[in-house]
Amino acid sequence: MTTGLLLTTVALLQQAAEPQSIPFELTSHNNIAVRVLINERDQAMLMFHLAVDSVSLTQKASRRIGSVSFDKNARLSSWGGQSAPVLYSSRNTLQIRGQTWKDVGITESRHSGPGTDGKFGPNLFGGRIVEIDFDRGRLVIHPSLPEHAANYERLDIETRSGSMFAKATVGIGGELVQNDFMIHTGFGGGVLFDDAFAARHRLVSTLKVVGGRELKDSMGNVLKTTKLQIPSLRLGSFSLAGLPAEVFPGAIQSQKMSVLGADVWKRFNMLIDTGAGHLYLKPNNLRHLPYSQ
């Protein structure tokens, strides 16, 4: 996750009046991968990440992509630490399916979703309506809310520090508890609970423990989690059962936000209207797939 690194130098050259379609690949880790062209010469696969507000390349990709010169320093926040210094490159050109941006700042990070060279976020599209159509494998950038939004369920979202949050209700020990969740397509899992929520509701002792694993954030910090199973999660009128969830054990005290990951969001076609503070959802053809374990 990134905070405080805004694309203040990005200039969108084409504000098309018609919707713009961008094909993507859904990876085996549930990430959305988009092919881009950098500085008119280097191809890369970037993860479309709803919880970031900058463009980044991994260290491995930056060694291959010779047109990007990292000549400045910046700071990056991530799961595993408050802030860390990173390299920064200004004044790059980025092209995605006929759209061109100039003066794009690019940061360097250690990791991205498996099979991708880095990340970019929805702020690249200048506040337009972003549609994520998993059925057809495409992003569609709309100048205004399309008519087919009437067939979707509308939820309220809140934007904080460049990330979007929605409310969901979780079944815990026979009770229904509402919480705010970051909309996070970079995290390939289902649910990640913040430390305070996990402690307050004694999740490790209340829910079924099904294992654990190690995660790496964008700066390479290794984070061990305890894997749980929650009986139900309600998102608007949609109910999800047997969803995998994770918590950081012990007193890490760094995970301050709960997260709904890509294993949840891939089950819905989505329309994102950050200007009006709304998220539109419609179940898609992936809704009955088993959850990643």
pLDDT band at 5 (very low <50, low <70, confident <90, very high): very low
CATH of the domain at 252: 2.40.70.10
Q: Across residues 188-205, what is the average pLDDT?
A: 92
pLDDT of res. 127: 85
Does 217 share its domain with 93? Answer: no
The answer, yes or no, to whether residue 232 has pLDDT greater than 80, is yes
In a domain, 292, yes or no: no
Does 191 share its domain with 277? Answer: yes
d(CA 215, CA 223): 5
Instruction: List the one residue out of 43, 51, 56, 146 whose CA is nearest residue 95.
Output: 43
- Beta strands (DSSP E) in 41-80 are 42-48, 55-58, 72-78
Alpha carbon of residue 282 to chain centroid: 18
Q: How many domains does the chain have?
A: 2
Task: Decide: helix, strand or coil at residue 253.
Answer: coil
Q: Across residues 130-141, what is the average pLDDT?
A: 98
d(CA 236, CA 200): 24
d(CA 62, CA 108): 7
The answer, yes or no, to whether residue 264 has pLDDT greater than 80, is yes
For the chain, what is the largest distance between any 2 Cα atoms, rounded to a whole number of angstroms? Answer: 57
Residues 85-132 have pLDDT tens digits of 789 999 999 999 989 999 999 999 888 999 999 999 998 998 899 999
pLDDT of res. 4: 36
Does 164 share its domain with 266? Answer: yes
d(CA 134, CA 138): 7
Residue type, 229: Q
Side-chain-side CA neighbours of residue 64 (13 Å)? 12
The domain boundary, picked from 96, 126, 156, lies at 126
Alpha carbon of residue 163 to chain centroid: 9
Instruction: List the one residue out of 136, 84, 140 whose CA is nearest residue 108.
Output: 84
Does 92 share its domain with 210? Answer: no
Task: Decide: helix, strand or coil at residue 98.
Answer: coil
Residue type, 249: P
The answer, yes or no, to whether residue 80 has pLDDT greater than 70, is no
pLDDT band at 8 (very low <50, low <70, confident <90, very high): very low
The domain boundary, picked from 126, 157, 192, lies at 126
Instruction: List the one residue out of 129, 163, 144, 147 whose CA is nearest residue 270.
Output: 129
Full domain range(s) for residue 92? 21-126
In a domain, 254, yes or no: yes
Q: What is the DSSP letter of 290?
A: P
pLDDT of res. 235: 97
Q: What is the mean pLDDT of the chain?
A: 88
